[in-house]
Amino acid sequence: MSKSVSTWGRNIVIVYAMFACGTLAFVGFAMTQRVDLTSEHYYEDALRHDEVSAARYRAYSLGARVIHDGDSLRILSSRELRVDDDVVFRFRRADDPALDREMVLRAPDERGYVVLTDALKPGVWRLEVRWTSQSKDLQIDTVVRVKS
């Protein structure tokens, strides 16, 4: 009986030793890996993110939205839309960044700020509209589906 007890105890020691060696090997591997939890300019990035969030909130508070009327995009607002300078429409395609484009509108036409979409390749576009009103930035982000 004493022979089986020593085998049982020895097996526990072997399993524990294997576990400890595996844990140490994993810790050693993890310590050799480079980990960047923050970017080099994390503070500036956070401030930029806060500014964009505030611009989106201001546009949302005005009731501003983008309407897709078949071959054109218009900015509508529940209140008067005052624009200090230019309105920038930035179109982005996730599947082909070479198609990304930016359109700057200096002044509205009789329908307001309108961009024709007939020059855009059919598909899904990410649209970012930015402008300044009373010295404050505003921004609308939306998805636009352009049909052929």
pLDDT by residue (tens digit) across 22-62?
999 999 999 999 887 778 888 999 999 999 999 999 999 88
Which structure tokens are listed for 52? Answer: 């964009």
Alpha-carbon distances, residue 119 vs 6, 28, 97, 99, 126 (angstroms): 82, 56, 16, 11, 15
pLDDT at residue 111, rounded to an integer: 61
Mean pLDDT, residues 56-72 = 86
* Higher-pLDDT residue of 99, 81: 99
Do 97 and 65 touch, CB atoms closer than 8 A? no
Amino acid in the structure at residue 133: S
pLDDT at residue 6, rounded to an integer: 67
**Per-residue confidence band for 110, with pLDDT thresholds at 50, 70 and 90:** low
**Per-residue confidence band for 64, with pLDDT thresholds at 50, 70 and 90:** confident
pLDDT at residue 63, rounded to an integer: 86
Half-sphere exposure of 40 toward its Cβ, with a 13 Å CA cutoff? 0
Judging by beta carbons within 10 Å of its beta carbon (0-12, 13-18, 19+), is residue 49 exposed, middle or buried? exposed
pLDDT of 74 over the 90 cut: no
pLDDT in tens, 7-22: 888 899 999 999 999 9
Do 136 and 130 touch, CB atoms closer than 8 A? no
Cα–Cα distance, 141 to 126 (Å, whole number)? 7
**Per-residue confidence band for 134, with pLDDT thresholds at 50, 70 and 90:** confident
Mean pLDDT, residues 122-127 = 91
